[in-house]
Amino acid sequence: MTPLRCIILLQFTTTLALGQPIHQRKPASLPKQPEALVRSLYQKVAARQTVGIPHGADMKIFAPYLSKTLRHRIQLARACGNDWFRQHPGRSLKPPFVWLEAGLFSGANERTDPNAFVIEKAQSEKDGSFRVFVRLRGGKPPSNRGSGKLW
């Protein structure tokens, strides 16, 4: 997979993650009301401060909030990243995919470390889904980020 395809795939994946309808099938343990569901998700986002694509324990925590399609696209993006690193072993090149330094649920740059959030409003869409507006407040990066582990 070329770097350009990886970038396009991740941009599309991020769009899906932030715009997926809340009415999709969810496990019974998740809240049913849009505001409560988003509040539950962002409590985990603020606590975990995950940069890049969630993996390991983080992915297990976030997976119930994601559609099957989005989880599949995340697997494809992860495979793309792994392939790039396989093709460039031991080099100190910066990978050509933007999601490496972005928060899937928060954004890029300084927005990757939200430590607080406020749900501003939820509005019903014509297709029966809800759009929930969330304001994030940033924080300092956690000290354990320097481990170098990407996945």
Instruction: Flag whether 143 is in a domain.
Output: no
Instruction: Flag whether 144 is in a domain.
Output: no
Instruction: Flag whether 150 is in a domain.
Output: no
CA dihedral 42, 47, 50, 55 (to 10 degrees): -90
* pTM score: 0.65
Q: Are 137 and 117 in contact (CB under 8 A)?
A: yes
Residue 142 is predicted with a pLDDT of 47
Q: Give the total number of structural domains in the chain.
A: 1
Rounded Cα gap, residues 60 and 132, in angstroms: 23
Domain of residue 131: give its range: 3-23+30-138
Instruction: Flag whether 147 is in a domain.
Output: no
- C-alpha atoms less than 13 angstroms from C-alpha of 103 in its C-beta half-sphere: 23
pLDDT per position as a tens digit, 73-89: 999 999 998 898 899 88
Residue 79 is predicted with a pLDDT of 92
